[in-house]
Chains A and B, each alone.
Chain A
Amino acid sequence: MQPILSIQNLSIEYRARRGRVRAIRNVSFDVQRGEAVALIGESGSGKTTLGLGIVQLLPGTARVTQGRAIYRRSRDGAPSEIDTLQLKGRALREFRWKECAMVFQSALNALNPVLRISDQFADTAQAHGYLQGRALHARAEELLKLVRLDPDRVWRSFPHELSGGMRQRVLIALSLLLEPQLLILDEPTTALDILTQRNIMDVLKDLRHKLDFSLLFISHDLALAAELTDRVATVYAGKIVELASVETTFKEPAHPYTIGLINAVPTLKGTKEDLSSIPGSPPDLVEMPAGCKFHPRCPLVESRCKEEEPELVEVKPGHQTACWNWRSAREALQTHKVQG
């Protein structure tokens, strides 16, 4: 079966006073039908930009400079291909909720503060000529229950009457209203406490099981990616530097940056010695270093890394990485850590 989404050689820039911010650089990857793919990476690496690009919600200062985002529709008979970057007007509006919905990072403020939850659902439904009145209510009730909210309590409430976690779940329910095939969630649980986060994670796992949509899950929390997704793309300085199944990413990462990220996450069972940080900070996307963008922070840097940027190569089927030293990186960094 063909992937539901194929990102092909996508590049996105922002115009800023200081120059061009190259937020996404020649990124390609697929999302299979029913699959959950995580985008992980440090703050400012371009994760949100990629999500916004797919649904054409980039701010005016942004520009897609190359590439395509092929979405494969499967509803209503014959499968058809569309490049989401070319969509306009009605086709775009339809794509946005019916095919692909995105829940944003700043989601806590995404609900209209003066509208009751019922009206938020009604507005969205009406804008797309979807169910109305009783039928809508019934559908919304079903969705609110799916995200483990009490419809009676939530339906007539204003957003400010709900806690952060409840609002987040309302948004997830709302995004599912038009039965999208692809859901993009950008940091859906940051700023929520452990139990609320746990609840939302359980809801998402449950929903995937029941509704079988594809998911692009953006997060810098590696543990959430480990729990929820099938494949992980590690993003560094606007580029995917490693792409592998979730097991491989966490058990056999090959890129020094992915290895560094994983070594920096404290675990409940771990000891103090298991942890180390990645020195330095992410690069300035206006004036990026030459060669591999990670080289100023990489413990394995060699002269070649400073000159030539590595592209993704196959480590084994289904596992790609962009590093000149991938063959030795894991072993080298294991010993490196013991010395450090």
Chain B
Amino acid sequence: MPTPIITLDHVTRTFSVKRQTITAVDDVNLSIREGEIICLVGESGCGKTTTGKMIAGVLPASAGRILYLGADISKLTGTERKKFRLGVQMIHQDPYASLNPAHTISAIIAAPLRHHGFTQGETQTQQRVRKLLETVDLTPPDDFLDKYPHQLSGGQRQRVSVARALTVAPSFLVADEAVSMVDVSIRISLLNMLSKLKDAMGLSVLFITHDLALAKYFAWEGRIGVMYLGRLVELSPARWLVEHPQHPYTQVLLSAIPEADPEATRHKKRIELRSMDVPSLLRLPTGCSFHPRCPQFLGEVCEQVTPALVESDGAMVACHRVTRPAPRATEL
């Protein structure tokens, strides 16, 4: 098997908050192949962005290792480090904060092109800037070149962020809610564009989103990972996850999604949680941290033992209900 482009090996990230330690990402293992698209979904605060930032080298892991093409990113130096820096690009969640407000769109995109020598001379740089704007559907490019970020809508800014990430021809892209503000009509063409880059250049993408239907579409041949309070609770081929969710949390998420079909969405069977409250990371429940809300709560084992992510029916699942045989009727 070829070396994965990114490997997370027991990766944990903690923060100290109010003199206590919270674990935002807890013992995550994940390998991403070249040309693979992985979507990460889960409730707000479950650690998606933190995971993405660690992969992009923006945030160090507190424990465990992250490998880029087999090499520990915390130990890279010199040209190897530069290769990693350019090879892995991150599109940040908040397009308002991530674009320099004092620079025009043209300057924002041209800077990395010049700096890293991707273009020679001004004419070539300008040509490339236009091409990149067209790639992300900001057309005609002339309308955008001299604008400042505050003159663009949220969706347009997100597209500028995508264009900027593509300037250095990365091989891995961490896209954090990268199309959340883009109109539905344009979103698909942007994702199709990334899919084409994947096919043409072997680009891999870690795509962070709340939208499971979008995740299924984008990661069609890839995988979807579901996170809950810092842990990966299900990891499965995209379509399989949506059609055969195994973790009770994944099932709840899928049942909660409204659908663009009045008949279907009004009659959809929703799974109720035992509690709506997301536990605080400061006071994590013992055992399986989903147990206080889990509609399939088994009892003691869920309260005491943290389930490991293990293979089950074509997926990786961390749930006692799934990994232990169902109790027979006589035992109930």
Contacts and interface: CB of A to CB of B under 8 A. Distances in A.
B269 interface: no
Nearest to B138: A281
B256 A267 contact: no
Interface in B132-176: 137-139, 143, 153-155
Contact of A222 (B137, B155, B184, B278): B184
Interface string A42-58: 11100000000000000
Contacts of B257: 194, 198, 223, 268
A227 B257 CA distance: 10
A122 to B, nearest CB: 27
**Most chain A CB atoms below 10 A, which of B139, B187, B262:** B262
Nearest to A272: B220
Interface in B259-279: 259-263, 265-266, 270, 273, 276, 278
Given A268-B257, A277-B187, A247 B43 contact: no
Interface residues of A, number: 45
A318 interface: no
A42 B188 contact: no
Interface stretch (B30-38, B58-66, B80-88, B210-218): B210-218
Contacts of A282: 183
B20 to A, nearest CB: 17
A264 B185 contact: yes
Given A226-B258, A226-B259, A268-B213, A196 B185 contact: no
Contact of B43 (A195, A260, A267, A278): A195
Contacts of A116: none
Contact of B265 (A196, A197, A227, A284): A227
B276 A199 contact: yes
B100 interface: no
Contacts of A148: 276
B186 interface: yes
Contacts of B197: none
Nearest to A275: B188
Contacts of A265: 184, 213, 260
A260 B185 contact: yes
Contacts of A267: 213, 259-261
Contacts of A164: 44
B160 to A, nearest CB: 13
B44 A193 contact: yes
Given A195-B273, A198-B270, A247 B263 contact: yes
Contact of B188 (A192, A247, A264): A264
A26 interface: no
A272 B217 contact: yes
B252 interface: yes
A280 B262 CA distance: 28
A266 interface: yes
Contacts of B214: 266
Given A164-B44, A195-B273, A276 B188 contact: yes
**Secondary structure at chain A's binding surface: helix, strand, loop or mixed?**
loop
Contacts of B187: 264, 277
A268 B42 CA distance: 16
Interface in A175-198: 191-198
A227 B185 contact: no
B183 A227 contact: no
A277 B189 contact: yes
Nearest to A198: B256
B216 A266 contact: yes
Contacts of B69: none
A226 B262 contact: yes
Contacts of A247: 262-263
Contact of A264 (B42, B184, B259): B184
Contact of A223 (B137, B183, B260): B260
Contact of B261 (A226, A276, A284): A226
Contacts of B315: none
20 contacts: A43-B181, A163-B44, A195-B253, A198-B258, A201-B258, A224-B258, A226-B265, A250-B262, A264-B187, A265-B213, A265-B260, A266-B216, A266-B217, A268-B212, A268-B254, A275-B188, A277-B189, A277-B192, A278-B186, A279-B189
Given A43-B154, A223-B259, 12 more contacts: A43-B181, A44-B153, A195-B252, A196-B43, A197-B258, A201-B258, A250-B260, A266-B217, A268-B216, A270-B217, A277-B187, A281-B137
The 9 nearest A-B residue pairs measured at CB: A198-B256, A277-B189, A278-B185, A277-B188, A223-B258, A266-B217, A266-B213, A227-B265, A42-B183
